[in-house]
Structure 1
Amino acid sequence: MLIAPDRDLAGSCSIEQIRCFCHKRKARSMTIIEIRPIRNGWKCFEAPGMQPVLLSQQDAISYAKGRACFRSGEIRILDSSGAIKRIIPFSETDRRL
């Protein structure tokens, strides 16, 4: 941390600026991976262009868990109508080395 000698630390930031900074640090992005049934398998949707199709639902869940490595978010398993059937949350704190 670099501190300018002629600057007073107590008056350098307002309490609103400090709160804003703390709020921004706490905000994190969340990854959502959806698993949907299709005609011949299960499609994992993470982002456009990233939609592999796997034969079984368990293979799709395993794939999604592997893609979720070192991130926070959830895996949503949908039924054929698009309704959420099951949610599997994951976070960085759940990971074990």
Structure 2
Amino acid sequence: MYTFAFEKLEVWQLSRQFVAKIYKVTADFPDEEKFGLVSQIRRAAVSIPSNLAEGNARLLKDDKARFFQISYSSLMEVVNQLIISLDLGFINE
């Protein structure tokens, strides 16, 4: 049973799972990255389902599209940060 309409979105459900995976992966990063890359990756990941939820609540199509685009942009931010993490040896493929 769903309380909010956005909970029915498959993309929102998948993004929640993605956030959980990001938190698990970044838990093993070096301590000195706790307030750097780890914080940045986690905030960007959380932004994905957050913007999907907010966009889904908007009444105008343009507003919805704007928030969905922000969500996608946050996903690309996380992808970039994971590539950097790979380059730095914090994660493997």
TM-score by length of 1: 0.26
Give 1 or 2: higher helix fraction: 2
More strand, by proportion: 1
Larger radius of gyration: 1
> Using CA pairs below 8 Å that are at least 6 residues apart, which structure has the higher relative contact order?
2
TM-score by length of 2: 0.26
